[in-house]
Amino acid sequence: MYKIGDFKVGDKIYQHKNNEWQFCGEICKVTDQCYGIRSKLIVGMFMVDKNLFESSGYIGKPFGFK
């Protein structure tokens, strides 16, 4: 089951580009206002405001979901 909000640590994040869902990173930290995300494109993690991130069209695949 995929979700569009309320992401948790370990969720894999995808975005629809070029007619397919592309892997963008993984949620590695959650605070009251931000998500911390690890990506292959950036060394370390970056923090994104929850409201901005959840309204940008990303979906999350929960950790352990096949």
What value does the mean pLDDT take over residues 3-27? Answer: 92
Q: Does 6 have pLDDT greater than 80?
A: yes
Other CB atoms within 10 Å distance of the CB of residue 18: 6
pTM of the model: 0.84
Q: Which residue in 14, 10, 15 sits closest to 35, CA to CA?
A: 10
Mean pLDDT of the chain: 90
Q: Does 35 have pLDDT greater than 90?
A: yes
**Inter-residue contact 52 to 3 (CB < 8 Å):** no
**Inter-residue contact 14 to 26 (CB < 8 Å):** no
